[in-house]
Amino acid sequence: MYLNKKKIIFLISIFLLVFLLTINDVKSQELKVVDGDTIHLNGEKIRFSGIDTPELKQTCIKNGVKNLCGIRAKQILINKIKTNKVKCIRAGKDQYKRILAECFVNNESLSSYLVRSGYAFAYRRYSDKFIADEDYARNNKIGIWSMKFDYPWDYQKKN
């Protein structure tokens, strides 16, 4: 009987430990997509590190027609996330006290996805991580690379 009590206590301890380690996976997420490179996740403002997307009010021109490329970048991010769980790896904070992070859905980098889709730029001023993704989009004229556009940092200076 004594050994059985020890086994039961041991098993309960193991189950409790597993529960505590996975509780974050069980909780639902509060997620809001702010723009193409910023989300609010469980009350924290997260800016994707190493990329920059067009501003929400920013337009691009294709065949003489204005495209809302900033809103399109946000929509691409929304469509990619859908109802999936977002996991982020923090890399610090920016000058606006936002958390800088690379975020993932189903182990795929959202930053890499946005850049490769042609709706985000490798932010070379801060990182060279997404340059190959940008080269792919540019060489294949994907997304904004098929349009006339201002880089987001140039657009911000003008507006």
The string of pLDDT tens digits covering residues 67-106 is 999 999 999 999 999 999 999 999 999 998 999 999 999 9
Would you tell me which CATH number, out of the four given (1.10.260.40, 1.10.10.10, 2.40.50.180, 2.40.50.90), belongs to the domain 29-158? 2.40.50.90
pLDDT at 126: 86
pTM beyond 0.85, yes or no: no
Rounded Cα distance between 127 and 106, Å, is: 23
Q: Residue 56 phi/psi, 5° resolution?
A: -55, -35
pLDDT at 24: 46
pLDDT at 29: 86
Q: Which residues of the chain have pLDDT under 70?
A: 1-28
